[in-house]
Amino acid sequence: MTSRGLDQQSQGQVRSFGVPVSARPTVSLPVSAPCRWGGCAAPANRVPGSLPRSEIRPIETLGVEALADGPRWLRPCNAGADVDLSAHQSPGPGVDRLNTSIMLGRTLREVSAALKHGQITPTELCQKCLSLIKKTKFLNAYITVSEEVALKQAEESEKRYKQGQSLGDLDGIPVAVKDNFSTSGIETTCASNMLKGYIPPYNATVVQKLLDQGALLMGKTNLDEFAMGSGSTDGVFGAVKNPWSYSKQHREKRPLKPCGDGDGDEDSSWLIAGGSSGGSAAAVAALTCFAALGSDTGGSTRNPAAHCGLVGFKPSYGLVSRHGLIPLVNSMDVPGILTRCVDDTAIVLGILAGHDPKDSTTVQDPVKPFVLPNLTDVSKLCIGIPKEYLVPELSGEVRSLWSQAADLFESQGAKVIEVSLPHTLYSIVCYHVLCTSEVASNMARFDGLQYGHRSAISVSTEAMYAATRREGFNDVVRGRILSGNFFLLKENYENYFIKAQKVRRLIVNDFLNVFNSGVDVLLTPTTLSEAVPYAEFIKEDNRTRSAQDDIFTQAVNMAGLPAVSIPVALSKQGLPVGLQLIGRAFCDQQLLTIAKWFEKQVQFPIIQLQEFMDDYSSVLDNQKLTSVSLQQ
Amino acid sequence: MAAPILRRGFPGGRWALVWIHGGCRHRNGAPTGPTLGSTRGRSSVAQQSLQTAQKPRKGEHKWETVVGLEVHAQISSNSKLFSGSKVCFAAPPNSLVSFFDASLPGTLPVLNRRCVEAAVMTGLALNCRINKKSLFDRKHYFYADLPAGYQITQQRLPIAAQGSLKYSICTGQRRSQMVTKTVRIKQIQLEQDSGKSLHDDLRCQTLVDLNRAGVGLLEVVLEPDLCCGEEAATVVRELQLILQALGASQANMAEGQLRVDANISVHHPGEPLGVRTEVKNLNSIRFLAKAIDYEIQRQISELENGGEILNETRSFDHKLGCTVPMRDKEGEQDYRFMPEPNLPPLVLYDTSCLPAGADPQQVINIDRIRDSLPELPSVTRDRLVGEYGMLPEHSFVLLNEVGLLEFFQNVMKETRAEPKKVTNWVLNTFLGYLKQQNLAVSESPVTPSALAELLNLLDRKVISSSAAKQVFGELCKAEGKTATQIVSEQRLELMQDREELERLCHATMDEHPQVVMDMKGGNPRAINKLIGLVRRASLSRADPTVIKEILERKLSP
């Protein structure tokens, strides 16, 4: 590829990812042109232009034979879909009302319809979810389960349904909230000793909006301490386990360990959920709720969504209120949404979005709930593939899926072009300076005086401050505070903070240039690879991990753009892989509309946890996990 | 800028030691704070040595003094700068604290429109350039009454800058000459007030009251254009009058609504500026003047005795009448300023750039504020001079005494007496009485109406001016009697009956033949004596001019 400008008019920039469809203008790129990002030797990859026509048809039209030779990323999803799609069919009048466990695997929209039709009551649904939360307690997805609150809310919701006064799509729907959103009367810890026992007196705006719609708050989900991490492994309540570790899909495909390692090995082979909203992702993935709030500062919603096979959405900065979200980096934080499908995300976003007088950074324009249209024609779309996102660390499988996704768009008529975001390279280091600086500032309020942990050391106020903060924060938080304060020192401010702000501006401009050149959305990987085992993950420290894992997601936060991770397929190991779509600022609906189309094409399978859950206790006995108090 | 004063946990004795070894305190002081000895700290030491390297030159040169002020004015507003909590002086502790004020995690600031308007008004009144875009910053320091660990202020781009303030001081031997001077305003910034810490040394505890935490402040930073306590006091008084006229602040120093920090240094003319000290939290104009003058003298004698001035913060001990070092700022404090990410830039408009269809609740129009500015003190004084022909210095006194102008104007409304006479009575008799009794105008036992009535009696020549003084004295007793009642009860009216007056003159002349003789003999002073005698005989009720006229007629050949 030449490194010409991003001018869309320049046909030479337009990359071909597949056989040109006759209906659209012929792409003039020489077929022999080396393809930097896609031209690698991954098995499933191919020379541009060599893709058989049949592969690009929507998945539901594919026969089994076609699948056998089809791209690897299509196969497992269809296999899964075969089993579970039955549950996706709209429940007819003859649906067994008692078989509520089937309900749990459904989407928010489906279960909402079931509630409206009286096929299940909010209380039944709530109890079912609570029971599953208990059964999956070993996942460590929840820090606090607000059982009483949820049951009371369910009761009220049930009354409303009986009186025909449902509040809307979310009435009676179990949801979970990351434990860095303030919840009135419910402990909010940020997975930190500092806030253990802290019970906020108010609800975050997004929490209040969910409750106002009748949603049932099942509990507060686990995270990395103060959302600083990418694995949900660094919280004071322990790591979150990825539900896919226990899925049929993964168990059948994971590499076999040598015999004799026994149960101990079984225990340590579990995978991380991603982070920092890993608890929220695990909660939705394990079917214990239908939507969850995460927060996203550098990818904290999209990363665990990708690892847990969910839709993870980061709205445009300013679209959704941050009031009540305990901040990590105020200028990049946004509440994120984790659901099992794009339509569900749209429902939740429709409720959360809009101006909040309590958050001056929210946009003034009114936002109404919306329904995503079914996109049938993508031929007017222009999909950008940022060449800088092809990094050596990217796993072959993800790269291959990325490539095929681009082909999919192109084969359906979209224009797919390679674009350049030249300052991506500096994003992580720039983020490090800005993030730690804001962290140093935001964490200054935790001094043990007003709320939260206070050290017993009381020689002097200063000594009390120091001891409180040493005891209250983990090494990751303290490390970031230390770096941040260093960058903010008078003598360093110009060299670090100001420079980082300038780089941030360049990164923002990169995106602006690309979008101004006519690109509608960018297609990128979400993560470098599928979820890795915990034992492997913790070999690197938090800082290294965060820097690596945020690589595709974090520049988006710098620019305040909307982005969504869509699960596209299962890897060789039967683990979810997500791809990311990045949209123009405040074009969140357009982004989700495209994501919905994409989601429909890839038909990602539902996690096969149910059959295995039916026999949960025995599985757990085998794993010697009975210490996890399921009886509770 | 409101800097933290860390006092607790370090008994004074220990700190005193540090002062003795002041030269190395920057290195010693560092470990407890994140701020290591900074370049600024060192450069100030270098400056010191430059100062002290020179041999004391007692009397060789005059000293020049440089005084700069930072004034914090609490904005008069129903609610705080970034939260909806009420603002009220002397409310029960911690009764006016919102979640934001207590810095509960997840809370966000929302800017109070009223505070912005007050800042714009003040900026306009002080001839500042109003910045159509201004920014908020976080200034970090740990202190118990600063719950967020930072104060939101406007360090980089304040709401107003580059203004000026005119003030007049009396000079000359009899202090009768008014000289008008100008002090430049560097900037005006919006910022949060802190809470209050009450240190209970006995029980070794600190009590924190957050009622004041987050109240809006205007920080007015003046350029170091002043040279003495009196100038500083005059400037602060003028600023106080302006703020009160605008309604931007009640600016009551006793209630802490106006607090002043003064930066002071001395140097020889033609030489670089000296090391400055900062005297903080001066909460009365009198103490401000005293503290500055004391500090100037202290610095001069320190330098003349071969000592050196440390770049330090001091406080004024009003009981001892001197400034003392404060224990603060572990070494050089680094506030680690950072842009406040939760507040977008504050954008103001004027009529020329007002966005079409903008919600009036969401925009602030500088021109509209300018048009609705009230009369400023300097204009009021000019008006008084022009309208009533009073001396400029009298107009200053009228404005400087709280409530006196209003009192004067109310008297003027109800009396036909000459403005000059009213001015005299208000400034001399009335104000003199208040000063003597140590009363404020609002505490005066004499109402404007009562004084007006008295002045009317005087003006209509119902009573003499000496009788008027007597009536005023009675009015001050506040027994509920009107001037007219007092006059009639004590029979103080001037004798209007000409025949009776003539009889009185006649009788007096008969009683004092010697005086009559003197007068006839050409002694000009004799007639005054005679007038006095007649007045005494009339119990001061006779008009001396009438007596004089009668006497002269009677004695004329």
ipTM (interface predicted TM): 0.82
Three-class secondary structure of residue A153 per DSSP = helix
Q: Residues of chain B with pLDDT > 90: what percent?
A: 59
- Residues whose CB is less than 8 angstroms from the CB of residue B43 and which lie 6 or more positions away in sequence, other chains included: none
Q: Tell me the pLDDT tens digit for each residue of A167-199.
A: 999 999 999 999 999 999 999 999 999 999 999
Q: Tell me the pLDDT tens digit for each residue of A241-281.
A: 999 999 999 988 877 655 444 444 456 689 999 989 999 99
How many whole angstroms separate alpha carbon A218 and alpha carbon A102? Answer: 19
Residue recorded with tokens 């599985």: A619
Which DSSP category does A519 fall into?
-
C-alpha distance from A357 to closest chain B C-alpha (Å): 8
How many whole angstroms separate alpha carbon A209 and alpha carbon A400? Answer: 40
Q: Which residue of B has its CA nearest to A328?
A: B106
Q: Is the pLDDT of residue A88 over 80?
A: no
Catalytic residue among A276, A321, A437, A571: A276
**Six token digits for residue B309:** 């001035």
C-alpha closest to that of A141 among A285, A319, A350, A283: A283
Peptide bond into A276 cis (omega under 30): yes
For residue A241, the tally of other CB atoms under 10 A from its CB is: 25
Query: From the list A326, A447, A451, which residue is nearest B149 (CB)?
Result: A447
Could you tell me the sign of the dihedral formed by the alpha carbons of B513, B518, B522, B527, in that order? negative
Q: Tell me the pLDDT tens digit for each residue of A341-394.
A: 999 999 999 999 999 999 999 998 888 888 999 999 999 999 999 999 999 999
Q: Which residue of A has its CA nearest to B84?
A: A358
Q: Which amino acid makes up residue A312?
A: G
Q: Which residue of A has its CA nearest to B102?
A: A450
Contact B148 A360 (CB under 8 A): no
- B108 touching A (Cβ < 8 Å): yes
Residue B171 is predicted with a pLDDT of: 79
CA dihedral B385, B388, B391, B397 (to 10 degrees): -80
Start-end of H helices in B352-497: 366-371, 377-388, 392-400, 404-414, 419-424, 431-437, 448-459, 465-476, 483-489
Task: Count Cβ–Cβ pairs < 8 Å, chain A vs chain B.
Answer: 120
Q: Who has greater pLDDT, A523 or A48? A: A523
Catalytic residue among A300, A316, A400, A565: A300
Please report which confidence band the pLDDT of residue B492 belongs to, taking 50, 70 and 90 as the band edges: confident
Q: Is A316 one of the annotated active-site residues of the chain?
A: no
Question: B160-171 and B177-192 as β-strands: parallel, antiparallel, unpaired?
Answer: antiparallel
Lowest mean pLDDT segment, chosen from A431-445, B35-49, B439-453: B35-49
Contact B110 A358 (CB under 8 A): yes
- Residues whose CB is less than 8 angstroms from the CB of residue A610 and which lie 6 or more positions away in sequence, other chains included: A101, A102, A104, A105, A287
What phi, psi does B81 have (nearest 5°)? -65, -40
How many whole angstroms separate alpha carbon A219 and alpha carbon A284? Answer: 12
C-alpha closest to that of A451 among A214, A277, A197, A234: A197
Contact A441 B343 (CB under 8 A): no
C-alpha distance from B166 to closest chain A C-alpha (Å): 35
Q: Tell me the pLDDT tens digit for each residue of B52-93.
A: 334 444 555 689 999 999 999 999 999 999 999 999 988 999
Contact B104 A357 (CB under 8 A): no
Name the most confidently modeled range: A17-31, A479-493, A547-561. Answer: A479-493
CB A582 within 8 A of CB A592: no
CA dihedral A128, A129, A132, A137 (to 10 degrees): -150
Catalytic residue among A178, A241, A387, A415: A178
Please report which confidence band the pLDDT of residue B516 belongs to, taking 50, 70 and 90 as the band edges: confident
CB B159 within 8 A of CB B119: yes
How many whole angstroms separate alpha carbon B520 and alpha carbon B339? Answer: 92
Residue A179 is predicted with a pLDDT of: 98
Contact B341 A444 (CB under 8 A): no
Residue B60 is predicted with a pLDDT of: 55
- Once rounded to an integer, what is the mean pLDDT over residues A296-302? 97
Contact A460 B10 (CB under 8 A): yes
Residues 67-106 of B with CB under 8 A from A: 99, 102-106
Lowest mean pLDDT segment, chosen from A80-89, A545-554, B48-57, B456-465: A80-89
Name the most confidently modeled range: A445-459, B18-32, B49-63, B460-474. Answer: A445-459
- B111 touching A (Cβ < 8 Å): yes
Three-class secondary structure of residue B186 per DSSP = strand
What are the angstrom distances between the C-alpha of B489 and each of B288, B474, B476, B484? 49, 11, 16, 9
Q: Which residue of B has its CA nearest to A435?
A: B341
Helix B229-246 to helix B285-304 angle, to the nearest 10 degrees? 150
Contact A450 B103 (CB under 8 A): yes
- Once rounded to an integer, what is the mean pLDDT over residues A400-425? 96
Mean pLDDT of all residues belonging to chain B: 85
Mean pLDDT of all residues belonging to chain A: 82
Q: Which residue of B has its CA nearest to A501?
A: B339
Chain A environment of B341 (Cβ under 8 Å): 329-331, 361, 438
Q: Residues of chain A with pLDDT > 90: what percent?
A: 71
Q: Tell me the pLDDT tens digit for each residue of B220-278.
A: 999 999 999 999 999 999 999 999 999 999 999 999 999 999 999 999 999 999 999 99
How many whole angstroms separate alpha carbon A181 and alpha carbon B324? Answer: 48
Query: From the list B6, B148, B362, which residue is nearest A445 (CB)?
Result: B148
Q: Who has greater pLDDT, B203 or B267? A: B267
C-alpha closest to that of A140 among A191, A105, A201: A191
DSSP string, A412-432: TT-EEEEE--GGGGGHHHHHH
Q: Is A499 one of the annotated active-site residues of the chain?
A: no
Residue A383 is predicted with a pLDDT of: 97
- Residues whose CB is less than 8 angstroms from the CB of residue A159 and which lie 6 or more positions away in sequence, other chains included: none
Q: Tell me the pLDDT tens digit for each residue of B316-340.
A: 998 999 999 986 554 568 999 999 9
Paired strand residues for B346: B134
Contact B142 A444 (CB under 8 A): yes
What are the angstrom distances between the C-alpha of A63 and each of A50, A54, A600? 21, 10, 17
- Residues whose CB is less than 8 angstroms from the CB of residue B288 and which lie 6 or more positions away in sequence, other chains included: B229, B232, B233, B236, B260, B262, B282
Q: Which residue of A has its CA nearest to B337?
A: A488
Q: Is the pLDDT of residue A2 over 90?
A: no
Chain A environment of B104 (Cβ under 8 Å): 182, 200-202, 450-451
What phi, psi does A374 have (nearest 5°)? -90, 110
Q: Is the pLDDT of residue B550 over 50?
A: yes
Chain B environment of A190 (Cβ under 8 Å): 105
- B206 touching A (Cβ < 8 Å): yes
The CA radius of gyration of chain B, in Å to the nearest whole number, is: 31
Q: Is A247 one of the annotated active-site residues of the chain?
A: no
Q: Tell me the pLDDT tens digit for each residue of A576-592.
A: 999 999 999 999 999 99
SS3 for A604-622 is: CCCCCCHHHHHCHHHHHHH
Residue recorded with tokens 């649904």: A125
Contact A360 B150 (CB under 8 A): no
CB A437 within 8 A of CB A331: no
